[in-house]
Every structure is written in C-alpha cells, then in structure tokens.
Chains A and B, each alone.
Chain A
Amino acid sequence: MSTTTADPSRAAAMSPEPAATAGFWHRYGTMWRSTPKELLAILLLGVLGTTAFALMWALVSAGLSLLFVLLIGGVVIVGALYAARGIGEVEMRILEWTGPPRIARPAWPRQPGFLGWLRSLFGTPHYWLAFANYLLPQFIVSLVTVVIGSTAVGIALGGTTWVIWSWALPREPRPDWGGGWGWAVDLAGSPIAIAILRTVLGLLVLFALPFIARGLVWAHWGLARVMLGAFRSDALEQELVGAEASRAAAVAAEDTALRRIERDIHDGPQQRLIRLQMDLASAQRRLEESPEESRALLAAAATQAGEALDELRALSRGFAPPILLDRGLVAALESAAARVDIPVDVVNDLPADTALPPEIERNAYFIASEGLTNAVKHAGASRIAIGLTLGVSGRELVVTVRDDGAGGAQPLPRHGIAGLEERLTGLGGSLTLASPEGGPTLLTARLPW
C-alpha cells in the first residue's frame, strides 16, 4: 500500500513547525512552484467533470429509455461504464501529474468468454463506482473547487493590484447618511480605506493561495481515491491469490517429493530387506543338514543388511543432512562446501542471534547445495562463494551462490534451478539468476518467514 501513503516532505509543508521558520519559508517557496500547475489541474478537472457529468447523464437517459425498447440500451450502458473507467484514468493521470501520490488502480478482472466478460463488467464494483462518481460527486467537487479556486485567484490578483487600476472604475456619488455616525461610514467608504482593505485582503489570499490550490487538488484526490482507486480488500484479495498459488506449488512439490521417496524406499532398502528375510529363512532351514551353505547365506544376509543401511542413509541425507539438524545451516553449508573439489567460501553475515525456522534452514541448504552442484558441474568455476544475509525486513533470509565460471546458465524446465524456483514459490520467496555469457553467475534466493 506504499502507493497511497503521502509524501512526508509534502505533509511537512502542509503543517510547518513554528520553530523552523527558515525551513517554513523555504517550503512555502517550494509550494508556490507547484501552485500554477495545481490551479491548471483544478481548471482541467473542472472541465473534465462538467463534460463527464453531461456525458454520463446523456448516456444514462439514452440507455435507460432504449433499454425497454431495444437491446441497444444495454450497449449504451456498457459504453457508459467503459467511458467512466476511461475518464477516471484520465483524472488520476492529471492528479498524478499535479503531485499527489499515485492512486492504486483496481485490478479490472476479466473472465474469458462473452458471458464471463459481461459478468466481470457488471460484477466489478469499480465500474459502477466510477460511473456513479461522474453522475454527481465529481461534478459537485469540480464546481466547488473551480468556484473557490477562481474566486481566490480573483481576490489575490485583483486585491493586490487594486491601487493600480481602481481609478478606472466609474465613481458613484456616495449617499449622505447624515446623523452622528455618518463620519464613520464616510471614513470606511473613503477611497483610501477601501484601497487599504482590498489590498490587505488581496495580500492575505495571495499568501494563502498555495494552500488553497493544494487543498483543492487534495479534495479531488480524496474523492478519486475512494471512487476510482482500488479497495484495500483488492490488495488483500490479490495477496490471497498469490498465497493460494504458492500453496498449490508447495503441495505439488511435496507430492512429487513423497512419490519419489516412496519409489526410492520401494526400489532400494525394502527390496534388500525382503531378500534378507529370504536369505535368513533359507539359512535357518539349512542349519542342520548343511551348515556350510547356511554360513554362506548368512554372510550374504549381512551384506544385504549393510547395503540396506547405506541406502537408507543416502535417502535420509536427501531429506535433510544430519549435520543441518545437529549444528544448523552454517555448519551444514561448510560441510557441503568441504565435499566439493573447488574452493568454496561460506560467508555468513547473519546477526549472531538470528533464529531461522527449520524449514527455512532446510530449504536454504538445498538451494545453496543445488547452486553449488550446478556451479561445479556446469560452470567450470575455480572459486565459489556462498553468502548468507538477512533481508531488510529482518524476516527474510537471502542466500547467494556466486561462481567465477563460464556463465550462461538458464533456468530450463526439469533443470535443477526450475525445481528450486518451485520450492521457493511454495515458501513465498523468490529466485533470481544472473548469468551473463562469460560469467560470473549469481544465484540469489530470498526466503521470507
């Protein structure tokens, strides 16, 4: 929602602190610089509002009257909705050009097919809000702002220059009030008093003009944000869609992993244990009549048991290397780095008290070791550096793998990196790969928690 927060410097200009008077005059001067633009915007928005008001009412009356006669009325209403959206966009562009922060645009969802299009058009509240906006509220704000704006400009310019041109006005004979207080009326109505009064008023309004202009623009902005901008719930909805996608990716990745585990166990240790059971049963049967044979069978059984253990060990290392559970991420990465032929530097810039959640550690480990494997296998690197840093939010682990190899790495489907991306999407993180031809290659993974 950073798009809708006001610029702090602007906010400061609106409410100057008395202590910083020099700062106030400086900021006041800065405000003046944008005042002509703001006055022009008020004028433009006034023209836009009046035109849109006329157009919308024309379309509404035409559409509603034709609706009962022909289907054309529906087309006119659709046109009105699109026109309102388009005019809304123009208005928001004018506002952005003038200065206030950008208004977050609605998502304008569009479902496939004619019926889907109709449904998304009539079912999206933003169309109707924009339409309603130009039917009345925007017109009222336009009228009010134009009237206030032009009056303010008139008084400011007219008042301050009164002394110069007032002589040209036709002089009317002043009425004789008579009585005891006539002198006061005479004094107040004397040309000098009027000149002073008008000049002071003009100066005051002139001084306030930047504030008035800015206030009027913000009035437009406030209305536009409510009527034309995205809702807060829109952002939440989009976040939800993203979360659902990452959840789906996580489920898919987990599903694939579980299938692979099942197959690995089935093809590996399970087969060996069955064979072991068979060998032991045979040895048992032959124990009496043929001790020699049973001894050979028992030796084979011991071998089967040993190999089953080896396979199980390799499998569990694939889920999570033991040292990762025992000693944490840095020790596990150093251990992985030591198993590689090429010199690998593990640079840990995490604050000492960082407590990473286990699933973040595990995924960071697999991402770094996959990056390490790729660098060794494909890049022809002579030096690799693994970096661990904390993201700016303080709740994000940034893992980098940099190598000085040939570069040109591509995230091909079914390639290790594509698998990593899926893993990271599931965690709500991101993966970027920078690998120009000729190297170096930099893999950056961000894992939020």
Chain B
Amino acid sequence: MVRVAVADDSVLLREGLVRLLGEAGHDVIGAFGDAEELLAAVNGMAPELVVLDVRMPPTFRDEGVRAALRLRTEHPEIGILLLSQYVEAVYAQELLGAGAGGVGYLLKDRVASLDELDDAVTRIAGGGTVLDPEVVTQLLGRRRDPVAALTAREREVLQQMAEGRSNPAIARSLTIGLGAVEKHITSIFAKLGLEDSSSAHRRVLAVLTWLDGRS
C-alpha cells in the first residue's frame, strides 16, 4: 500500500483516479484541483507518491511538470507520477534529469488499466522509473540509424529498458530467460557505445541521453 496524493483539475478524471487507486489497494490521502494546493499540503500529509496532471490552472500549460521539478528539489523522497493526455519527450528528460529514481511519466490512457496503474505506482514508490512506451517511441525515432543496427529482439529489449523495466520484468514480458535479457542488454550497450549500469534509473537516463543525441 502506497500513500498517494492526486492533483488533477478535471473532476471527472480526479475521481476516476482516486477510485482506481483505491481499488488497487493504495491509500489516497488527498485530491487537489491544482498544483499549488498540492504543494501547500504536501508538508503536512507526507505522501509517498504524488500523481500530477501536466496541464492545470492557472495557465493550463506545464504546471504539473514545474510542480514535479519543485517537488524533486524540496522533497526528493516523494515519488512522482506525471500523467497527461499527450506525452512530450522533453518533459520526460526534464523529469528524469531532476533526480535519481522514483519518477514516472505516462499517458492517462494507461491508467485505465488497473494493473498498469498499480505496476507504475509500486515501481515508482520503490525508487524505479516508469516511462510511457509512447515517449520511448518518440525518442527511438530520433536516432534511427544506430537503432537500425540492433536486432528486432534487441530493439524490444531497448524499448522496455527505456520504459524503466527491470531485467526480470523484461524477461517476463518477452517470455525469455533472464540470462537472455542480460545478453541482449550487453549487446545493445556495446552497439550503442554505452556503459552498462546496475541502477535501473541510471540505465534509463543513459539510454535517454543517448537517444536525445546531445550526449
């Protein structure tokens, strides 16, 4: 069970989220209509994780992203799940660059599935990183040439790795052995010229930095 606070200006989605999180067995300790309210309440509530919408009052731009970055510096122990109706690779990079682990960025569509929402919340609360496949696809699209050098299976592994999944999770989802996953990862890192890291978050970050093409 994770203590969760939610901020989303849409009542419809906020109530849906609260219900789903409750169904998944988490403790929703607060639900707010904008980022400022949430930030003001965080000190007293001590949530383990906050779920933030990207667009919120007053300007309906990137309030959620900015609130997340502020939370990262002020309360690095609180996990952050950013939800949005669209995903932008830039926001993912900012979020991941702001600190070690415990962050996620997903399309709102994903959380309609109880399993996916529960999985994301649990992983983020445990210090992991969760990235929407859509973000990873956007990023993979940028560096087509070197990615083309990977085999189809290696690309699948790279995608899952960038989404923040652990080696056992990748093995489960692709129904291959853990040893095979590790072999693929070594091969991917060799082909892309990256250094492997045991920390899942740093691994995601390395992959993202490389995909961004500005490393």
User: Which A residues are within 8 Å of any B CB, using their own CB?
Assistant: 302, 305-306, 309-310, 313, 316-317, 322-323, 325-327, 331, 334-335, 338-339, 341
Asked if residues B62 and A327 are in contact (CB atoms below 8 Å), the reply is yes
Say which residue of B54, B60, B112, B213 sits within 8 Å of A302 (CB atoms). Answer: B112
Given known A-B contacts A309-B109, A325-B61, A326-B55, A338 and B89 have beta carbons under 8 A apart = yes
Indicate whether B12 reaches chain A with its CB closer than 8 angstroms: no
Q: How many A-B residue pairs have CB under 8 A?
A: 45
Q: Which residue of A lies closest to B55 (CB)?
A: A326
Q: List 17 A-B contacts (CB under 8 A).
A: A309-B85, A313-B85, A316-B86, A317-B86, A322-B85, A322-B86, A323-B90, A325-B60, A326-B54, A327-B61, A327-B62, A334-B90, A335-B89, A338-B212, A339-B142, A341-B141, A341-B144
Q: Is there an interface contact between B62 and A326, defined as CB atoms closer than 8 Å? A: yes
B138 touches A339 (CB 8 A): yes
User: What residues make up the interface of B, taking CB atoms closer than 8 Å to A?
Assistant: 54-55, 60-62, 85-86, 88-90, 109, 112, 138, 141-142, 144-145, 212-213
Complexed CA–CA distance, A325 and B89 (Å): 15
Q: In the complex, A305 Cα to B108 Cα: how many Å?
A: 12
Q: Which residue of B lies closest to A309 (CB)?
A: B109
Nearest 5 Cβ contacts at the A-B interface: A326-B61, A326-B62, A322-B86, A323-B88, A309-B109
Which among A313, A316, A326, A334 has the greatest number of chain B C-beta atoms within 10 A? A326
Report B67 CB to chain A, min CB distance, Å. 13
- Across the interface, name the chain B residue whose C-beta is closest to A325: B61
**How distant is A298 from chain B, measured CB to nearest CB, in Å?**
12
Chain B's closest residue to A322 (CB) is B86
Give Cα A317–Cα B85 distance, bound, in whole angstroms: 11
Chain A residue contacts of B138, Cβ below 8 A? 338-339
Question: Chain B residues with Cβ under 8 A from A335's Cβ?
Answer: 88-90
Q: How far is the CA of A335 from the CA of B90 in the complex (A)?
A: 7
For residue B88, which residue of chain A has the nearest CB? A323
Q: A309-B109, A326-B55 are in contact. Are A331 and B90 (CB under 8 A)?
A: yes
Contact partners of B61 in chain A: CB under 8 A:
325-327
Q: Give 6 A-B pairs besides A305-B112, A338-B213 with Cβ atoms closer than 8 angstroms.
A: A306-B109, A306-B112, A310-B109, A313-B85, A313-B86, A322-B88
**In whole angstroms, what is the CA distance A343 to B215 when docked?**
14
A310–B144 Cα distance when bound, in Å, is 23
Q: Complex formed: what's the CA distance from A341 to B138 in Å?
A: 11
Cα distance, A316 to B85, chains bound together (Å): 11
How far does the alpha carbon of A289 sit from the alpha carbon of B109 in the complex, in Å? 31
CA distance A338 to B88 in the complex (A): 11
Query: Nearest-CB distance from B147 to chain A (Å)?
Result: 11
Q: Which of B61, B88, B112, B145 has the most CB of A within 10 A?
A: B88
Question: How far is B138's CA from A335's CA once the two chains are assembled, in angstroms?
Answer: 10
Distance of A327 Cα from B61 Cα, bound (Å): 7
Least distance between A286 CB and chain B CB atoms (Å):
22
